[in-house]
Structure 1
Amino acid sequence: MKDEAKNVPVVRFNGFYDAWEQRKLGELGEVTTGKAFSSTNFDAQGEYLVITNKDISDSSRSQNVMTDRISVSDDEIIQRYNLGGENILVTMDGVNLGKTAMYSDDKALLAQRVGRIKSNQLEFIYQITSSNTFLTVMRKLSVGNAIKHISLKQISDYSSIVPKDIVEQQKIGSFFKLLDNTIALHQRKLDAMNQMKNGFLQQLFPENGEKFPRVRFADFKDEWEQRKLGEVGDFYYGKSAPKWSVTEVATTPCIRYGELYTKFGAKIDRIYSYTNIPKENLKFSKGSEVLIPRVGEDPLDFAKCSWLTIPNVAIGEMISVYNTNQNPQFIAIYFRAKMRLEFAKRVEGGNVSNLYYSYLENILLSLPPSEEQVKIAELISQIDNIIILQRNKLNKLNILKKAYLQNMFV
């Protein structure tokens, strides 16, 4: 009785009371793999997509992908390896080993080293195979030196505790399919907003060497003025506030350079860290500074600059501080949109790189009138706010799904 009590989920649909039972994937469905197509037969104009392990980079409900193509005339091969209908695909080797996807396309064929699961309870099984537990077990079972791999038997033998009643499996599968579709919808909305923002950034700023953007607000017709960074502002470095000084009991708000990469967008309006360094050893903001990371790993990331809107915040070392007579929010957006390559060209160092502000002072900017700067900054800020709201909705849905998975499975 105690074992049966353990094999019951916390949350169930009404009308189901029996304990769940241990079953292998091979008992819940049919596990097969694809054909060893020769890459010499691939043809960009081929009739069929060839789905390989590189096409399953994340556990998801995949749609058609841009990948290799092939023409096949053998009806037996087409029938055996065609991916029409619903399929769960499992990557059997390489860097994506153990990752799974739902896939359906009658104009696609399955390649070797990708497992396929067919079942009349596919939606339920997908919640098992897309879990971190399945991924972890498959990677632990993998063998090989240069390229790790798993076998069809290892996939088939993977066991999980499942409902005895097929109807309960169906209800659980349908519930999570609806939740997954809702998550996918919000992800598409977020992607669309990011694409729209990138489109605006491309159109609202002139190309290098040009003096007019492609798109402007009404009533602005003058050409943008080219000025050097050092002509419209000045730099200094932040001071102290090392990692060891940031504690839960410290009281002095601070910004550390790593947070420019991980916490903030073009505007800083919230503080995450507090330092216990004496105030006389710190440098504080006035609420108009643009912060530029001075240390990093990827040269293209140094343009992740932010306008610090809050006064009396300690600015940590490894940050270049830019005070400008231009609109600081516009400048931060400008740096992020147009200065990635310019900053990257001036980075020095190897694994840990440095960007000294003295190398930035001669960079040319194209600057519109201050009123136009404000309008551009306001527009991008509004889009950023919508993106943040959409991302928060998506995060909440993912948290909700995680909670349901913990409570609706044993």
Structure 2
Amino acid sequence: MVEQHGKTLVPQIRFAGFTDPWEQRKLGDILQERNVRTSDFESNPIFSLTIEDGITPKTDRYERTSLITKTEDLFKIVSPNEFVTNPMNLRFGAFGYNKNSFSVCVSGYYDVFSIDNDKCSGFWNSYFKTSVALKRFDDAATGSLIEKRRVKYSTLCQLIFLMPKGMDEKKRIGAFFDRLDSLITLHQRKYDKLCVLKKSMLDKMFPKGGSLYPEIRFAGFTDPWEQRKLSELVEIERGGS
């Protein structure tokens, strides 16, 4: 996202009007830890944290509220625009922020925090997905076993990142990537609907069950389909040496 140009640190591409070099700052200077716990799952629905989708509604398959009986099992509240990270998988991209207009709750194992007092969460959500950030998380991960290396919140606070000096550029970049994410989601939904439509048409536009008529046909076609051997329609070509 940022590279060295002479003695300054600036992105290769910027929005018009922003010319100041980015600065190096410790994340602990702009992170605000959140540790509010709850067992009120009606007011704070349980969400999951995935590498693919960030914070997402928990599916029925993984619903475990009936098993929560002890105080230490209480989940952490994530207010709008607050972040959630999985210390074990942060280096693989297990983080996200609450884009909803309501609070949710996640496993008490996760770290929950605000960045820049929730003023530009979209910026950090995008920044943390870059290869530079993921490598920094991987380098900072600690643990005796490779598969159990994690980035604790205290470690996260010590990491130094390049960032714009002003909040305006952060907001502008965050809004840009949020818009791209919305467009991707929109087109993904269209794609999913088209896949369902195609599957339905494949089922209804070819005869089945001994019938000679498809369930759905284009206008003007009324003749029954006929049964033919494929050998009557296929020409086999054998290549020579």
TM bin, normalised by shorter chain, reads 0.5 to 0.7
1:233 counterpart residue number: 234
SS of 2:7 mapped into structure 1: helix
CA contact (8 A) 1:33 1:111 kept: no
Shift in alpha-carbon separation, 1:95–1:26, aligned structure 2, 3 A:
closer
Deviations 1:134-171 (A, max 9, x none): 23333454443555543223433333210111222222
1:57 counterpart residue number: 51
1:131 counterpart residue number: 130
Alignment of 1:183-332 (within 5 A): 183-207=184-208, 211-227=212-228, 229-230=230-231, 232-235=233-236, 281=241
5+ residue gaps in structure 1?
38-45, 240-279, 282-410
Amino acid at match of 2:30: L
2:114 counterpart residue number: 118
Alignment of 1:397-408 (within 5 A): none
CA contact (8 A) 2:35 2:112 kept: yes
CA contact (8 A) 1:7 1:21 kept: yes
CA distance in 1, matches of 2:91, 2:155: 16
Shift in alpha-carbon separation, 1:11–1:206, aligned structure 2, 3 A:
same
Shift in alpha-carbon separation, 1:64–1:31, aligned structure 2, 3 A:
same
Shift in alpha-carbon separation, 1:133–1:95, aligned structure 2, 3 A:
closer
1:159 counterpart residue number: 160
Query: How many residue pairs end up in the alignment?
Result: 226
Deviations 1:99-141 (A, max 9, x none): 3333345463111443434232212211211223223333454
Shift in alpha-carbon separation, 1:96–1:29, aligned structure 2, 3 A:
closer
Shift in alpha-carbon separation, 1:94–1:185, aligned structure 2, 3 A:
same
The question of 1:93 aligning with 2:111 is answered: no
Q: TM-score, normalised by structure 1?
A: 0.44
CA distance in 1, matches of 2:166, 2:219: 65
SS of 2:80 mapped into structure 1: strand
CA contact (8 A) 1:85 1:104 kept: yes
TM superposition shift of 1:21: 1.0
CA contact (8 A) 2:51 2:92 kept: no
2:97 counterpart residue number: 102
5+ residue gaps in structure 2?
none
Shift in alpha-carbon separation, 1:149–1:4, aligned structure 2, 3 A:
same
CA distance in 2, matches of 1:52, 1:161: 29
CA distance in 1, matches of 2:6, 2:147: 44
Deviations 1:270-313 (A, max 9, x none): xxxxxxxxxx75xxxxxxxxxxxxxxxxxxxxxxxxxxxxxxxx
CA contact (8 A) 1:211 1:224 kept: yes
SS of 1:86 mapped into structure 2: coil
CA distance in 2, matches of 1:201, 1:173: 42
CA distance in 2, matches of 1:85, 1:31: 14
Shift in alpha-carbon separation, 1:96–1:21, aligned structure 2, 3 A:
closer
CA distance in 1, matches of 2:195, 2:107: 34
CA distance in 2, matches of 1:34, 1:138: 25
Amino acid at match of 1:133: V
CA contact (8 A) 1:98 1:134 kept: no
Q: TM-score, normalised by structure 2?
A: 0.68
Of the two structures, which has the highest relative contact order with CA contacts closer than 8 Å and spacing of 6 or more?
Answer: 2
Percent of matched pairs sharing the same residue: 24
CA contact (8 A) 1:91 1:97 kept: no
Q: Which runs of 4 or more aligned residues in structure 1 lie more than 6 Å from their structure 2 counterparts after TM superposition?
A: 71-74
